[in-house]
Amino acid sequence: MTLRFGTALLVCAVTLSAEAMADQPTYVLMTGLSDGYYGYSNRTPEQYRFIAVSNGVPTLYMPAGSACSSNTLYFKQSERGDIWVHEGSPNRMGSPYSQNKASLRADALLARPDKVTTANHFACQGAVQRGDG
């Protein structure tokens, strides 16, 4: 009886772990990424997702109450410095994220980096792979 109960707990734990991992995206880095914050809104940041890059590795922050995508996300930094995120395929239309900079005016669409907070967001951290872009 103890063996069956222990086996049942192990199967349950593995199943829950697999389900939790299924909700996390895979991040494919098609280019190197510069550290910083990208796309953090100055006006209503709690309504939008944004990207934080540390040591070249991105973390996508989602507004509280929303869900992480389980799709593969492809990240590519343009020559202008914007990060493009393509969901599901690197050939699909992507979403650009501009970098939050200290030189931004107080009334700009993006916030300065010292104004970025994750209080109303949660991190969607994915397994990182290097692409060939």
Report how far residue 116's alpha carbon sits from residue 127's, in angstroms, rounded to the nearest whole number: 24
Tell me, yes or no, if the pTM score tops 0.85: no
Q: Are 85 and 51 in contact (CB under 8 A)?
A: yes
DSSP per-residue letters across 30-55? SS---SEEES-BSS-GGGS-EEEEET
pLDDT, residue 25, reads 86
Give 27-78 pLDDT, tens digit per residue.
999 999 999 999 999 999 999 999 999 999 999 999 999 999 888 999 999 9
**Average pLDDT of the residues of the chain:** 84
Report how far residue 118's alpha carbon sits from residue 43's, in angstroms, rounded to the nearest whole number: 15
